[in-house]
Structure 1
Amino acid sequence: MRNGAATRTALAVAAVGALALAGCGGAEGGGGDAAQGWQPDGDVTMIVPFSAGGGSDRAGRAVAAAIEAAAPDVTVSVENREGGSGAVGYSYFLGREGDAETLLATETALLALPAGGQVEFTYEDFTPIMKIAEDYTLLVVPAAAPYQSCTDVVDAARGQRVVAGISGQTGLDNIVLSLTENETGVQFDRVAFESGGELIAALLGGQIDIASLNPGEVIGQLDSGDLRAVCAFAEERYDYGALQEIPTATEQGIPVSFAQFRGVLAPGGIDEEQQRYWIDTMTRALETEEYRTYVEESYLQPVTAAGPEFVEYLGRNRTLLEEALKQ
């Protein structure tokens, strides 16, 4: 990890640790009080509401490993429940109300599904535990494509059909494409897939012209030269290796950036002691090598928020997302 990213990770962990301790009555020993109170009675299940191979799946497995490192007595198994752009997994999780031994690896679909009117639940039906990072996205094309920039893609869409693959209707990729359409007046023809892995296969197979993918999903194909990133939908350029060479969309005259959060939810209806246990455990998980490796290898920004601060973030981000999805 570059020094700047490592510093951000350390600062984020320190800030979250302070928040968790303050919000939990000043527990001493980094969660020692939690160890004396409620603890999982059996194996914990981490629900991933998308299929294996994508960014959400990697996040769920990385968090499961970090929890096990932070709480050696806990075993976390990952369960993929894909379908409906995340709706199947979230709906299943809704039915686990009061079950503090089930968690969910959450992301922007938590807000986008309700905003799109596709489900009846909101984030307020769950117990937000921790935002662990923020994830931006790249606009990616096959190596042989004629597009050299985001502007080239937009210009092409003005006069011809440009097929864009998206990972579900509610993901970050669909949001940034919608924002690009709003800014430029073009329209992309969308084809929905269930994961980033499927998107990459479709790009390589010529089924779609463009796709918006998280760096961690597509770095292998970028390194091999099979795919090429024409811009980043981020506020600033990445400071990781070769990603530094990818200009932002804003640099190219398309002022679009939007961060997907990565986080952990517990079901609604758990008690304060159970919530405190998971906030304390996740605070320790952010200090593990498993978490640091995940942030580095997935090219994430380690911007974190615990408990009540995560709830406040979700409220603000819901408003921004609803504005972004307005047509």
Structure 2
Amino acid sequence: MKIDSTTARRSTLTSLALVSALALTACGSMTESTEAGSAEGGIEKLNIVVPADPGGGWDQTGRAMEKDLKDTELVGSASVVNVGGAGGTNGLAQLATETDPNTLMVMGYVMVGAVETNNAASRIEDTTPIARLTDEPLVIVVPAESPYQTTQDLLDDIEANGQGVSITGGSAGGADHILAGMVLKEAGIAPDSLNYIPYSGGGESLAALLGNKVNAGISGVGEYAEQIKAGQLRALAVSGSEAAPQIPEVETLSDQGIDVVLTNWRGVVAPGSIDEAKAEELTELVTELHETDAWKATLEQNNWGDAFLAGDEFDAFLDEDITTVKQTLTEIGLL
């Protein structure tokens, strides 16, 4: 969020389609789009930074974007680079020094919290918001051999044994960590009873669960769904307002009398150093991707909710979400 140009960008991006058309005519940098979404005269090569190790939700999002952008010929080529660690803040720091303006970084709710808990020098406010893309609920799971049959079983053990019970998930301060803290708070359990073991990617937390190295885990439904269906993990609850389509038999926390609802959103930002014209071009690119049949199929295939917001709407959403996450982290004892 380039603070020194927020007002100008919001005014410009509100009329995105019109401005984009004028910009393309004025600079002559792009030819009129074909039905196939030709990249002729447009962005020849797009860099997509995934600020996490392979295997997690951000990686899945970045690689889905890469494939669909190339398949629809919206760009000449696209490539993904993984920069893992610290809840995405390592990738955020790299984006702060990025000199290629044709760069997008996948990010989301996890990063909002990680910036605060890591006291990161590079902040989301210093990037250029492009679009929010998806959201999905989280799921609380345990290994198949676990004695916990319900969420209450898990909470009872935490209340009795405190940090003797371990819960794994994504990076510290992210959605998984926040959900664990919110559930304990709702159950009246002290925040310092939480023994949360963070990993930078969903693949690592899954390995810890399957290896019975932790008692429970939290992640996006999509990251654990296959292991749940295969009987390797037992799902105790999902965190959305309704059941998740991949595992419809699993009750929500609310259904179990735990008044907590949280969904994990994901989106993309660009370097804070880009100018207004480039911000408009990248926003238009992602907007066009969102309208393709290929992206609609990707959403359905991955059971991702369509949470699309672009331009000034995404900018305003980020402002509000950052404020809300700071408050939540403080309330559950993480700040």
Q: TM-score, normalised by structure 2?
A: 0.84
2:180 to 177, 180, 200: 177
Matched AA of 1:65: K
Q: What residue is the counterpart of 1:196 in the other structure?
A: 202
Matched AA of 2:269: L
Alpha-carbon contact 1:110-1:122 (below 8 Å) kept:
no
Q: What residue is the counterpart of 2:57 in the other structure?
A: 55
| 1:238-262 C-alpha deviation (Å, 9 max, x unpaired) | 2x25x22111111112111222211
SS in 2 for 1:268: coil
Matched AA of 1:258: L
Whole-angstrom CA distance in 2 between matches of 1:64 and 1:20: 24
| 1:33-83 C-alpha deviation (Å, 9 max, x unpaired) | 699436666522111110001111101111122222344442110000112
Q: What residue is the counterpart of 1:128 in the other structure?
A: 129
> What is the aligned-residue RMSD (CA, Å)?
2.4
Alpha-carbon contact 1:136-1:234 (below 8 Å) kept:
yes
Matched AA of 1:37: S
Inter-CA distance 267–227: structure 2 relative to 1 (3 Å threshold): same
Matched AA of 1:254: I
Q: CA deviation at 1:269?
A: 1.9
| 1:162-193 C-alpha deviation (Å, 9 max, x unpaired) | 11012111321011011112212332212121
2:319 to 297, 315, 319: 315
Whole-angstrom CA distance in 1 between matches of 2:73 and 2:124: 26
Q: TM-score, normalised by structure 1?
A: 0.86
Q: What residue is the counterpart of 1:256 in the other structure?
A: 260
Inter-CA distance 274–202: structure 2 relative to 1 (3 Å threshold): same
Name which structure has the greater RCO, CA cutoff 8 Å, separation 6+: 1
SS in 1 for 2:63: helix
Q: What residue is the counterpart of 1:295 in the other structure?
A: 299
Matched AA of 1:67: L
Alpha-carbon contact 1:109-1:170 (below 8 Å) kept:
yes
Matched AA of 1:269: S
2:168 to 165, 169, 172: 165
Whole-angstrom CA distance in 1 between matches of 2:155 and 2:234: 16
1:247 aligns with 2:251: yes
Q: What residue is the counterpart of 1:108 in the other structure?
A: 109
Whole-angstrom CA distance in 1 between matches of 2:110 and 2:233: 26
Whole-angstrom CA distance in 2 between matches of 1:79 and 1:142: 31
Q: What residue is the counterpart of 2:120 in the other structure?
A: 119
Whole-angstrom CA distance in 2 between matches of 1:153 and 1:141: 9
* Alignment of structure 1 residues 217-236 onto 2, 5 Å: 217-236=223-242
* Alignment of structure 1 residues 252-291 onto 2, 5 Å: 252-291=256-295
Inter-CA distance 317–21: structure 2 relative to 1 (3 Å threshold): closer
Q: What residue is the counterpart of 2:15 in the other structure?
A: 22
Whole-angstrom CA distance in 1 between matches of 2:217 and 2:25: 47
Whole-angstrom CA distance in 1 between matches of 2:118 and 2:219: 24
Q: What residue is the counterpart of 2:82 in the other structure?
A: 80
Structure 2: tracts of 5 or more residues without a match: 1-11, 31-40
SS in 1 for 2:121: coil
Q: CA deviation at 1:155?
A: 1.3
Inter-CA distance 287–69: structure 2 relative to 1 (3 Å threshold): farther
Matched AA of 1:198: E
Whole-angstrom CA distance in 1 between matches of 2:252 and 2:151: 9
Q: CA deviation at 1:27?
A: 4.9
SS in 2 for 1:245: coil
SS in 2 for 1:274: helix
Q: Structure 1 stretch 50-59 or stretch 107-116: which is displaced more?
A: 107-116
SS in 2 for 1:168: coil
Inter-CA distance 92–151: structure 2 relative to 1 (3 Å threshold): same
| 1:256-289 C-alpha deviation (Å, 9 max, x unpaired) | 1222211111111212221111111111111234
Q: CA deviation at 1:213?
A: 1.5
Whole-angstrom CA distance in 1 between matches of 2:24 and 2:102: 19
Inter-CA distance 269–222: structure 2 relative to 1 (3 Å threshold): same
Whole-angstrom CA distance in 2 between matches of 1:129 and 1:27: 14
Whole-angstrom CA distance in 2 between matches of 1:35 and 1:58: 34
Aligned residues: 305
Q: What residue is the counterpart of 1:37 in the other structure?
A: 29
